[in-house]
C-alpha cells in the first residue's frame, strides 16, 4: 500500500480555500482589466536555456529540471557521468525546466510573437511558478504570481498607473495597512557615485537588497569585504535612510547626492511619476534602501508590503530597458509588477478574514424514499433549467443522516420532500442556520432562488 502524500512545499486546495483564492484572483484580475491589461498564459515548461542565467547563480540552483524522455542516458555527457558531476551532467539529460517566474517567460513570449503584437502591449498573467527553495512560512515550492506588464513604451504614465493599481487592489482586498515603496535604479547609481563605490553596481544592489534579511551588520560585513571603507558605509547608510520616507524627501535627496546624469534622470522621473496621477489617497513612500534583487531593472522599482503582517513583500516590480534583448529583440522598454497570491492569502487568513464558517449556497434536496428522490430529481431538473445550483442527495438514507450531511457541508438551504410534497407539488424549505421551515410550491421555490 502506498502512502498518500505530496512533495514538500506543495499544497492541495480544498473547495473552501479555492473559493477564497479565487476571490483574491478576481480582485486582482478585475483591477488589471480596469487598467486595460489583457490575459495571456505560457506553458509550465520552458526550454532550460530560456531560464538559466536569468536569476543569478542561486536562481539556477532553484530551477526544477525535467528529465529528458526515453533513453536519456544515451546522450549523457560521459565525462560528467564518470566524474559523478551532477551540475555538469544536467544540460545533457535535461532540456526543459519549470518556469521560475512569469517575467522571463513573458519576455520570451514577446520576442517569439513580436510580429503579432501591437506595442505598447499590456498583458496580465496569473499562473503558478516553481522554485526548489527551502519551504518555510510564506514560502512554497509551488506558488502563484499575478503579473501585469506594459512593454514597448518608456512612458511614465505606466508607472503612475501601477501605483493606482496597488491602491485599488489592496483597498478592494480590505488590506488598508499596505505600503507601496518606490525607488529608482538611477538614484541607486547616483548613490554609488556619491559614496565612490568602486565595486560592481550589482554587488551594491545585491547587498542592499538583503537589508531586510541580514540587517546593517550583515550588509556592512558584505560591503567591507568588497572593499568599502567604514566611513563610506556610514555615508551610504545616511543616504539610504533619508527621512521622512515621503514625497518631500526628494528635496533632501537633491542636496545629498553628487551631481550626475543618473541623479538628474532619477529625480526627474520620480517627480513625473508622482504627478501623473492623484496619489493623495495612496500609501506611498520613497525608500532609497529599496534595491530589488534582479539585475534587469533599470528605472523605477516598486515593492508593496502589508504593515505588521510578519510576511515580507507581497508585490514587487519595476522598469526594465532590455529584458527581451537576450532573446534578440533590442531596445524594448517595459515595466511591470507581480502580486504574490499565496502571501496575500496567508495575510488575510492571519487577519481573521476567513474565520466565519463556510456556507454552501447550492440548494440540497433531501427525501424520504425512492419515490421522493425521483420527485426531487424532477424538481432539480426544473431549478437547474433556471440556472439555480441544485443537488439531490444521491443515496436512500434516513432523513437525519441527510441533514447531518447538509450541516457538515455547510449547505444553508435544504428542500425536504416526501409523499405530502409530491401530492401538492411543493417542498419544505429549511434554513439550516436558523432551523426555520416553510412550505413552498416549486414555482415559488424557483422565484425565491432566481
User: For a second copy, which residue of 57, 58, 115, 116 counts as binding (CB under 8 A)?
Assistant: 116
Residue 79 touching a second copy (CB under 8 A): no
Residue 362 neighbours by CB distance under 10 Å? 14
All three cell numbers of 298, joined, read 533599470
Min CB(394)–a second copy separation in Å: 3
Give the C-alpha separation, 321 to 185, whole Å.
Answer: 11
- State which of residues 56, 120, 135, 312 lies at the interface with a second copy (CB under 8 A): 120
- From the list 386, 373, 339, 345, the residue with the least C-alpha distance to 148 is 339
Give the footprint of a second copy on residues 365-424 (CB under 8 A): 373-374, 377-378, 381, 384, 387-392, 394-395, 405, 408-409
Residue 91 touching a second copy (CB under 8 A): no
**Closest Cα partner for 290 from 178, 182, 215?**
182
> Cell 544536467 maps to which residue?
90
Of 82-90, 254-262, 279-287, 290-298, the segment contacting a second copy by CB under 8 A is 82-90
The residue count for binding a second copy (CB under 8 A) is 106
Cell numbers describing residue 36: 486595460
Tell me the three state secondary structure of residue 161: helix
Q: Which three cell numbers stand for residue 74?
A: 544515451
Select 67 or 214, whichever has its Cβ closest to a second copy.
Answer: 67
- Measure the CA–CA gap between 19 and 16, rounded to whole angstroms: 5
> Which is closer to a second copy, CB of 206 or CB of 377?
377
CB atoms within 10 A of CB 417: 24
Nearest-10 crossing angle of helices 341-350, 15-34: 120
Single residue of 77, 94, 222, 354 touching a second copy by CB under 8 A: 94
Out of 23, 26, 34, 79, name the contact with a second copy by CB under 8 A.
34
Strand, helix or coil for residue 282 = coil
Restricted to residues 95-114, the positions that interact with a second copy (CB under 8 A) are 95-96, 98, 108-109, 111-113
204-243 residues in contact with a second copy (CB under 8 A) are none
Q: What is the DSSP letter of 293?
A: S
- Go through 24-42 and write b for each residue having 16 or more CB atoms within 10 A of its CB, e for each that does not: bbebbbebbeebebeebeb
Q: Near a second copy by CB under 8 A, which window of 231-239, 280-288, 322-330, 428-436?
A: 322-330
* Options 180-188, 233-241, 247-255, 271-279: segment touching a second copy (CB under 8 A): 271-279
Q: Are 428 and 435 in contact (CB under 8 A)?
A: no
* C-alpha–C-alpha distance, residues 73 and 64, integer Å: 19
CB nearer a second copy, residue 288 or residue 375: 375
Q: All 3 cell numbers of residue 195?
A: 559614496
- The grid coordinates of residue 273 equal 511619476
- Segment interacting with a second copy, rule: CB under 8 A, options 58-66, 217-225, 239-247, 416-424: 58-66
Binding mask 241-260 for a second copy (x = CB under 8 A): --------------------
Cβ proximity to a second copy, 310 vs 389, nearer residue: 389
Question: Does residue 23 bind a second copy (CB under 8 A)?
Answer: no
- According to DSSP, the residues that pair with 42 across neighbouring strands are none
Residue 2 engages a second copy in binding (rule: CB under 8 A): yes
Beta carbons within 8 Å of 77's beta carbon, 6+ residues apart: 88, 89, 91, 92
Q: What is the smallest separation between the CB atom of 88 and a second copy, expressed in angstroms?
A: 10
Using CB under 8 A, which of the segments 182-190, 295-303, 324-332, 418-426 binds a second copy? 324-332
Rounded Cα gap, residues 233 and 230, in angstroms:
5
> Between 21 and 232, whose beta carbon lies closer to a second copy?
21
Asked if 45 contacts 176 with a C-beta cutoff of 8 angstroms, the reply is no
Angle, CA of 202, 203 and 205, to the nearest 5°: 60
Stretch that binds a second copy, among 206-214, 247-255, 275-283, 415-423 (CB under 8 A): 275-283
Residue 354 as a binder of a second copy (CB under 8 A): the answer is no
Binder among 57, 58, 69, 280 for a second copy (CB under 8 A): 69
- Restricted to residues 276-295, the positions that interact with a second copy (CB under 8 A) are 276-278
Considering the complex, state which of residue 208 and residue 317 has its C-beta at the smaller distance from a second copy.
Answer: 317
The CB-of-77 to a second copy minimum distance in angstroms stands at 12
Q: Within 10 Å of residue 449's Cβ, how many Cβ atoms?
A: 18
User: In this structure, are residues 425 and 397 in contact, taking their beta carbons and an 8 Å threshold?
Assistant: no
Interacting positions 128-157 with a second copy (CB under 8 A): 128, 130, 132, 141-142, 150, 153-155, 157
Compute the least distance from the CB of residue 409 to a second copy, in Å.
5
**One residue of 28, 40, 267, 344 binding a second copy per CB under 8 A:** 40
Cβ nearer to a second copy, comparing 306 with 392: 392
Side-chain half-sphere CA neighbours of 301 within 13 A:
23
Amino acid at each position: 500500500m502506498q502512502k498518500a502524500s505530496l512533495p514538500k512545499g506543495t499544497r492541495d486546495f480544498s473547495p473552501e480555500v479555492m473559493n477564497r483564492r479565487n476571490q483574491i484572483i478576481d480582485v486582482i484580475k478585475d483591477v488589471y482589466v480596469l487598467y486595460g491589461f489583457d490575459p495571456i498564459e505560457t506553458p509550465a515548461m520552458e526550454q532550460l536555456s530560456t531560464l538559466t542565467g536569468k536569476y543569478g547563480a542561486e536562481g539556477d540552483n532553484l530551477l526544477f529540471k525535467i528529465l529528458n524522455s526515453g533513453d536519456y542516458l544515451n546522450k549523457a555527457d560521459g565525462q560528467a557521468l564518470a566524474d559523478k558531476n551532477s551540475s555538469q551532467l544536467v544540460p545533457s539529460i535535461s532540456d526543459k525546466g519549470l518556469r521560475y517566474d512569469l517575467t522571463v517567460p513573458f519576455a520570451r513570449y514577446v520576442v517569439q510573437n513580436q510580429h503579432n503584437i501591437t506595442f505598447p502591449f499590456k498583458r496580465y498573467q496569473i499562473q503558478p511558478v516553481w522554485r526548489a527553495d527551502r519551504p518555510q512560512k510564506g514560502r512554497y515550492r509551488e506558488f502563484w504570481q499575478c503579473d501585469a506588464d506594459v512593454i514597448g513604451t518608456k512612458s511614465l504614465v505606466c508607472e503612475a498607473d501601477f501605483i493606482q493599481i496597488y491602491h485599488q487592489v489592496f483597498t478592494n482586498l480590505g488590506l488598508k495597512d499596505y505600503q507601496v515603496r518606490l525607488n529608482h535604479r538611477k538614484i541607486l547609481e547616483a548613490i554609488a557615485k556619491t559614496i565612490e563605490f568602486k565595486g560592481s553596481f550589482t554587488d551594491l544592489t545585491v547587498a542592499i537588497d538583503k537589508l531586510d534579511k541580514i540587517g546593517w551588520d550583515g550588509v556592512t560585513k558584505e560591503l567591507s569585504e568588497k572593499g568599502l571603507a567604514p566611513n563610506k558605509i556610514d555615508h551610504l547608510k545616511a543616504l539610504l535612510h533619508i527621512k521622512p520616507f515621503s514625497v518631500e524627501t526628494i528635496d533632501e535627496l537633491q542636496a545629498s547626492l553628487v551631481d550626475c546624469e543618473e541623479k538628474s534622470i532619477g529625480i526627474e522621473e520620480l517627480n513625473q511619476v508622482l504627478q501623473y496621477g492623484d496619489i493623495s489617497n495612496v500609501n506611498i513612500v520613497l525608500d532609497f534602501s529599496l534595491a530589488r534583487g534582479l539585475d534587469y531593472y533599470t528605472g523605477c522599482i516598486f515593492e508593496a508590503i502589508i504593515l505588521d503582517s510578519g510576511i515580507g513583500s507581497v508585490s514587487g516590480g519595476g522598469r526594465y530597458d532590455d529584458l527581451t534583448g537576450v532573446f534578440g529583440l533590442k531596445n524594448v522598454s517595459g515595466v511591470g509588477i507581480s502580486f504574490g497570491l499565496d502571501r496575500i492569502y496567508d495575510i488575510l487568513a492571519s487577519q481573521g478574514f476567513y474565520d466565519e464558517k463556510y456556507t454552501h449556497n447550492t440548494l440540497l434536496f433531501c427525501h424520504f424514499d425512492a419515490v421522493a428522490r425521483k420527485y426531487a430529481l424532477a424538481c432539480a431538473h426544473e431549478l437547474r433549467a433556471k440556472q439555480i445550483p441544485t443537488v439531490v442527495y444521491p443515496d436512500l438514507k434516513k432523513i437525519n443522516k441527510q441533514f447531518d450531511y447538509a450541516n457538515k457541508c455547510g449547505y444553508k438551504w435544504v428542500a425536504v420532500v416526501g409523499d405530502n410534497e409530491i401530492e401538492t407539488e411543493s417542498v419544505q424549505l429549511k434554513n439550516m442556520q436558523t432551523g426555520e421551515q416553510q412550505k413552498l410550491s416549486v414555482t415559488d421555490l424557483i422565484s425565491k432562488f432566481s
